Structure 1
Amino acid sequence: MEEQVLDLLSTNIVFILAAIFLIVVILKGIKIVPQSEKYVVERFGRLHSVLGPGINFIVPFLDIVRHRISILERQLPTMSQDAITSDNVLVQVDTSVFYRITEPEKTVYRIRDVDAAIATTVAGIVRAEIGKMELDEVQSNRAQLTAAIKASVEDAVDAWGIEVTRSEILDVNLDAATREAMLQQLNAERARRAQVTEAEGTKRAVELAADAELYAAEQTAKARRIQADAEAYATGVVAQAIKDNGLEAAQYQVALKQVEALNALGAGDGKQTIVLPAQALEAFGDAFKMLKGGTK
């Protein structure tokens, strides 16, 4: 009886151990990978597979998850490095790089310190790219410089399974002597522009004055031309009247002028004395007769 109990107990222990072993195997064979990570699996010390997000199955005790790699985008700390432009100006460039790991199997087996490697690579590329440009180009073409740096960094880190998502030049600083020289140059440029503006204003004022004088001369000439046309028209009318009416029309005009002259003499203040010859009195008399005859 005791032997049967011992046999039963032994059998139960075996089943329990088998169940525990089975549970352990299942737990070790099933790997649930978060969305933001990838697992690098080794078998006998060699790369076997890379597990993506979700449920994955491996061979227990043979396959081991050696590396858990985050695939989220990362930002390197702001880096500052000195560089010399093509016109021999020393500048200090502050850069920032964003990247993410796309192929963990390359990253874990080809590079030890990813951040330090990328920082060193970026520093060398920044110095090389700035060395191709003058200071003015560095200041004005920052977007172009940033694009060139990003492309160069992408080529350099491609073997590490890394994607550079963004590269930014935060600031370009100059030493004190260069800043002072640039400030003096800026002040000189402002003074030059002020002088040019003043000269252009003076030139414009002279042009406007000349245009005004020309306009006045044109208007005066136009008035004289109109007056001359009027006089010519009046002369033409008189000539046509003489042509149509003969000598009487001419005598009528002379008589009219004589009467107008007499009226002008009579319009004085009454103190002057007018002496006329007898022939003039006869002429005025004839003129009055012609005017009287002409008004009938």
Structure 2
Amino acid sequence: MTPEELVGQATNGSLVILLLAAFIIISIFLGVRIVPQSEKHVVERFGRLRAVLGPGINFIVPFLDKVRHKISILERQLPNASQDAITKDNVLVQVETSVFYRILEPEKTVYRIRDVDAAIATTVAGIVRAGIGEMDLDEVQSNRQELISQIKQQVADAVDDWGIEVTRAEILDVNLDQATRDAMLQQLNAERARRAQVTEAEGERKSVELNADAELYAAQRAAEARRVQADAEAYATEVVAKAIRENGIEAAQYQVALKQVEALIKVGEGAGKQTVLLPANVLDAFGDAFNMLKGSK
């Protein structure tokens, strides 16, 4: 074999080795897939779903398997959307909503829906209109949290076949047209006036009740005082009667004389200068009282 042939064979052998090495390197490059923590990769083989690669190092068959879709599994927020809705009592409102979601099963999302954001937005709009249509305006304003929970649950059920999880659904605002606002303001002012009248009437009624209670208490106290006075007079009468029964007419005369003396003393204690007219038999009254007192001793 000539030197030229030997050189040609060596060259061909080196070329084969280089090609083989390049094939191995390319195969390793194509067969090893490193997936970030925030993504999932959908792998196809001959146009059909082969596997879903999770975060970390994954291996596929080079030249046969191909990564067709790289799907982020981070939570996403739909753009704030506004839609008109009519309440149960025929009031037109404009509802502003916001929805957060994330993809759990990329193979469903890729092969079952084309535009995820648009599909979710349309679903939310329909559910919001249906939910508000079952509620009066006052219920929409006061039970917003209940409406949010209802929307979130219904949206979650609707998008479950798409491999999507709805994490949050919010109603940011409920706007009314100017005519409805004016009507509500008039109603609010009328309600405030009514409450003020009711409060004033309640105050007057309470005042009347308190005055009546005070008069009743005063009457009760006066009646009690009269009863006590009557009891005292009855007791005094009973004492005099008992004294008469036990001591005869002298005890009665003694009591009369004693009362006369007490009356004269009270008249003499009056303020200022005054003239006191005494009955002719006043001295006899003093004498009778003194004699009876001595007799009693």
Alignment partners' CA distance in 1, 2:181 and 2:293: 101
TM-score (norm 1): 0.90
Alignment partners' CA distance in 2, 1:8 and 1:65: 39
- Structure 2 vs 1, CA of residues 243 and 43 (structure 1 numbering), >3 Å: closer, same or farther? same
- Structure 2 vs 1, CA of residues 48 and 75 (structure 1 numbering), >3 Å: closer, same or farther? same
Letter in 1 for 2:53: L
User: Where do 5+ consecutive residues of structure 1 fail to align?
Assistant: none
Other structure's SS at 2:159 match = helix
> Per-residue CA shift, 1:49-105, capped at 9, x if unaligned?
111111111111000000000011100000000111121111100000001111111
Q: Tell me which of 7, 12, 15 is aligned to 1:13.
A: 15
Q: 155-164 vs 72-81, which deviates more?
A: 155-164
Alignment partners' CA distance in 1, 2:81 and 2:57: 39
What is the aligned partner in structure 1 of residue 105 from structure 2?
103
Sequence identity percentage: 70
Q: Tell me which of 166, 176, 180 is aligned to 1:174.
A: 176
Letter in 2 for 1:185: Q
Is the 1:41–1:65 contact (alpha carbons within 8 Å) kept by the matching residues of 2? yes
What is the aligned partner in structure 1 of residue 240 from structure 2?
238
Q: 126-135 vs 5-14, which deviates more?
A: 5-14
Residue 78 in structure 1 maps to residue 80 in structure 2: yes
Letter in 1 for 2:250: E
What is the aligned partner in structure 1 of residue 259 from structure 2?
257
Q: How far apart are 1:20 and its partner, in Å?
A: 1.6
- Structure 2 vs 1, CA of residues 84 and 266 (structure 1 numbering), >3 Å: closer, same or farther? closer
What is the aligned partner in structure 2 of residue 113 from structure 1?
115
Q: 180-189 vs 146-155, which deviates more?
A: 146-155
Alignment partners' CA distance in 1, 2:287 and 2:232: 30
Is the 1:256–1:287 contact (alpha carbons within 8 Å) kept by the matching residues of 2? no
Alignment partners' CA distance in 2, 1:265 and 1:103: 114
Calculate the aligned-residue CA RMSD, in Å: 2.4
Other structure's SS at 2:169 match = strand
Question: Where does 1:1-296 land on structure 2 (aligned, <5 Å)?
Answer: 1-260=3-262, 276=280, 280=281, 284=285, 287-288=288-289, 290-294=291-295, 296=297
TM-score (norm 2): 0.90
Letter in 2 for 1:240: K
Q: How far apart are 1:150 and its partner, in Å?
A: 1.2
